[in-house]
Structure 1
Amino acid sequence: MLKRYQRILITIFYIILVFFLIASLIMPDKKMSEQENRTLTQFPQLTTTSIINGHFFSQLDDYLSDQFLLRDQFMKLKVRVDKMEGKRESAGVYLGHKGYLLAKNEIPNTKALNNSIKAINTFSSSHDNISMMIIPSSATINPALLPFGAPMRDGIKDINNFTKQLQKVQVIDSAKGLMKYKHDYLYYKTDHHWTTYGAYREFQSVAHQLGIEKPITKYKKYLVTDSFEGTLASESGDHTHSDEIYVYEPSTKVKYYVNYVAENKKTTSLYEIQQLKTKDQYTLFQGGNHPVVEINTTNNNHKNLLIFKDSYANSFVPFLYPYYQRIIMVDPRYYNDDINKLIENYDINQYLFLYSANTIMKDTSLSDLLNSN
């Protein structure tokens, strides 16, 4: 009787499996996964060569995995089961306390770091008024959010090992200011970026080191979305929580306009509100990353700042514009022109390197840019 019951269950299982496979093949293919924020595998091209070398079957396996019926629902279910079983990570992302998803601290790429150090030191030998801000990860600032027993590299040690080798560069201790508010909403729960509040707290902490004597303390704060699900949610498959994104408007009479040079686009706002309708709502800030962004203000103080940056700077620069005549943001990952000509053309007299720790620990683009001239 027991064996018969087992055979019935196995038969039902295979019937359901075959149904899902057939349904997956019949249903129209999806091009994008909104939850994972990536392109899905399409049906592979069937050729004699692809069959002989095995590429067709390996791609077919990826295709069936990506296009499986109700795939997103099954992924959500898997994450829930994993959490119930006490698993502490999913797809390399830690399932932290208080709903936080936490990226692991990157293992430094020694060769890339040494190249960056040499390039920055060469740059600083011929330029003055240079500052460096390396923003630690959420888990570095508040390790209590990590699941019990989860290993994590010492992010502060990695940052210090890097910055102590820099010459003629003012190293700003970004961790010091953030640590004071580590229990606050400094980082998104579902994304690796800091929140606007985190950027605000950091600005208030470091303003004087950037030469800003009287930083603005009065801001109007606007909630622009409460449905942000960031890259860590996409990577882990955990969509249990969503984040809020705020915009801070400083109390200032200074006006500005933004020039997206590569795109030949000008606007009077540092925010692209239409991006809130997309999956990556963090691109609200300047519409994401660009090779070069030019911010011109009504100031006439001849303070022209060049920022070498990653995406962390996008939500930080709105706190900077009231104090400069011009701010130029350069993302070395996308900028390939002569940096010395840019410095000359914009009469740059202050420099800021602003990176997240996980970016700078493996970045190769900054040294490539600084060494190309």
Structure 2
Amino acid sequence: MIKTIQKIFIVAFFLFCAMPVLALTIGYRNENVEKRILAKWPALIEEGRLNTKYPSDIEEYLADHYAFRPLMVTADAKLKASLFGESTSDQVIIGKEDWLFFRSTLDDYQRVIKLSDNDLYRISRILELQDEYLSQQGVRLVFMVAPNKASIYPEYMPERFVRLDSKSDYERLCEYLSDSGLDIIDLHESLRGQSAQVYHKLDTHWNNLGATVALGKMIEEIQIVDPSLHFVDYEEQPHVIEMTHRGDLSNMLYPSMDIMDEQVVFDLAGDYRTRRPMRSLEDLLIQTDNDNGQNVDVLMFRDSFANALIPFLSESLRTITYSRTVPYDYGLMTDETDIVFIEIVERNLEVLLQGTPQMPVYEVNMDFDISSDYVEVDATITPSKEGVFIYGVAVPESVGTTDTNYEIYLRLISDDNVITVVTFPVLEGSYVESAKNHSNAAFAARISFDSLPAGIYSASVVVCGPENYAGDLPGIQFEVPQTNSDG
């Protein structure tokens, strides 16, 4: 009898171990609750050759697809979290009172410097150039950073993560921007002052109440454009708390458990309409109109933190365009645009250095006292029907360091004209890797043919820093056709 029981246990054990593979062979497929790209079944022969990685590729496939994987991952995660307070996900930190935090925000929380002084200078310069361009169009620009959850609720972070006695990248950036004249919304201060909970416990983002705090600050900026506009103060509106939100962090940590988080629910009329079918609030482009909204036209460059803002803003405004595209596309502006918002989460500030905004550079009238005519220049030109995109690096010989702050201008030279335009301090194309040690000497300019008289143009560069330096851009030449010019 005992031997029979032992045999049953042995058979049951092997059946249990074999269940994932057996279920896979009969067609069972897991739901991809982790929302990541899964390994595909590998080919034994690739491009006419034996795939030498076939065994490891098979292993990766089985690791991703074996049956009941999400259940096993969840069970393991829940056990370790309950017993030891440890997270099995490299993306999630388990904090006090079961609060969850995104590990990517840990450096910001501990005030580890990720952005150099020159990075911050270049971000400031990039924002200032956008502000000046919009100012010339009679449009306001407002910049706001959505705080990391750990910046608002540090008391729930594990004590093992020690904070340095220094300033965070966000605080350092604010210092750079303090003298820029740029309109800035400080959401850190506004959200820290709230007595009610304004972030989800199990998600990286603010809840709807936190979104209304940001909304209130945005409305203050909109009313500067037109003080006669009147908006609903949603912070004072009735709301209820419902357990309806599934947090992104809890989904990463416990993929098979439907753990719901609190959400603050407001009664919105939903009068707005979208110009195109909307799949989700994550769409790259969302445009809404509301006949009952206030008479203002808004363009907002945003990330996922604006998801919670969209219902409130679209309920309040006549017209608003939301864009998640990076770099920011100012081709979305119209003659009716009154104000532009740039919203970006604190942990992603470096994104502001990635890609030149889709906007034409503008002309400046400047005289330069040139100290040297030698600059080591490497440049590329990319033509289009509307203009040219010129980008590269311009490093003064034996001058400065990789942290020296430069303002770089292009001089566009034809037989009849010399036109000076601003450039963005952004690495583009192959220079992102090949010239990353000279990012402080990066320049990029989108030049519209409509802004230039007809003619054949060459280009030179002026590098302004501790001293001013100039150099030609060899091989850079383009023609502005007569039909695109004003002359």
* TM-score of the superposed pair, with normalisation by structure 1: 0.74
For residue 89 of structure 1, give the secondary structure of its aligned residue in structure 2. Answer: coil
The amino acid that maps onto 1:159 is: Y
The correspondence for 2:302, drawn from 293, 296, 309, is 309
* Aligned-pair CA distance for 1:195: 0.9
For residue 288 of structure 1, give the secondary structure of its aligned residue in structure 2. Answer: coil
Match of 2:190 in 1: 177
| Residue pairs, 1:84-103, within 5 angstroms | 84-92=82-90, 93-103=92-102
Residues 12 and 106 of structure 1, relative CA distance in 2, 3 Å threshold: same
1:190 aligns with 2:202: yes
Instruction: Structure 1 unaligned segments of length 5 or more: list them.
Output: 1-7, 266-271, 276-282
* Aligned-pair CA distance for 1:102: 0.6
Structure with the larger RCO, 1 or 2 (CA within 8 Å, 6+ apart): 1
Conserved in 2, the CA contact under 8 Å of 1:96 and 1:145?
yes
| Residue pairs, 1:14-53, within 5 angstroms | 15=14, 19-20=18-19, 22-28=21-27, 30=29, 32-34=31-33, 36-47=34-45, 52-53=50-51
The correspondence for 2:154, drawn from 132, 143, 150, is 143
* Aligned-pair CA distance for 1:248: 2.6
* Aligned-pair CA distance for 1:47: 2.3
Q: How many residues align?
A: 335
| Residue pairs, 1:169-318, within 5 angstroms | 169-181=182-194, 184-204=196-216, 207-211=219-223, 215-217=231-233, 219=237, 221=239, 226-237=243-254, 239=257, 241-249=259-267, 255-260=271-276, 265=277, 283=280, 287-299=281-293, 301=295, 303-318=296-311
For residue 134 of structure 2, give the secondary structure of its aligned residue in structure 1. Answer: coil
Match of 2:384 in 1: none
Q: Deviations over 1:218-249 (max 9, x none)?
A: 535467x7343232123223747312444434
Residues 255 and 11 of structure 1, relative CA distance in 2, 3 Å threshold: closer
In structure 2, how many angstroms separate the alpha carbons of the residues matched to 1:190 and 1:220?
24
| Residue pairs, 1:311-330, within 5 angstroms | 311-321=304-314, 324-330=317-323
Instruction: Structure 2 unaligned segments of length 5 or more: list them.
Output: 1-6, 108-113, 360-423, 425-444, 447-487
In structure 2, how many angstroms separate the alpha carbons of the residues matched to 1:256 and 1:170?
28
For residue 232 of structure 2, give the secondary structure of its aligned residue in structure 1. Answer: coil
* Aligned-pair CA distance for 1:179: 0.7
**Bigger Rg over Cα:** 2
More helix by share: 1
* Aligned-pair CA distance for 1:139: 1.3
Conserved in 1, the CA contact under 8 Å of 2:327 and 2:356?
no
In structure 2, how many angstroms separate the alpha carbons of the residues matched to 1:174 and 1:189?
19
Match of 1:280 in 2: none
The amino acid that maps onto 2:339 is: Q
* Aligned-pair CA distance for 1:354: 1.4
Conserved in 2, the CA contact under 8 Å of 1:207 and 1:215?
yes
Match of 2:339 in 1: 350
Conserved in 1, the CA contact under 8 Å of 2:289 and 2:317?
no
In structure 1, how many angstroms separate the alpha carbons of the residues matched to 2:254 and 2:169?
29
More strand by share: 2
For residue 80 of structure 2, give the secondary structure of its aligned residue in structure 1. Answer: helix
In structure 1, how many angstroms separate the alpha carbons of the residues matched to 2:29 and 2:166?
39
* TM-score of the superposed pair, with normalisation by structure 2: 0.58
**Which has the higher mean CA deviation after the structures are superposed, 146-155 or 156-165?**
146-155
Q: Aligned-residue CA RMSD in angstroms?
A: 3.9
Conserved in 1, the CA contact under 8 Å of 2:287 and 2:319?
no
Q: Deviations over 1:163-205 (max 9, x none)?
A: 33333311111011111226x3322223212111111133335
For residue 159 of structure 2, give the secondary structure of its aligned residue in structure 1. Answer: coil
* Aligned-pair CA distance for 1:310: 0.9
* Aligned-pair CA distance for 1:73: 2.0
The correspondence for 1:157, drawn from 156, 165, 168, is 168
* Aligned-pair CA distance for 1:23: 1.7
* Aligned-pair CA distance for 1:136: 0.8
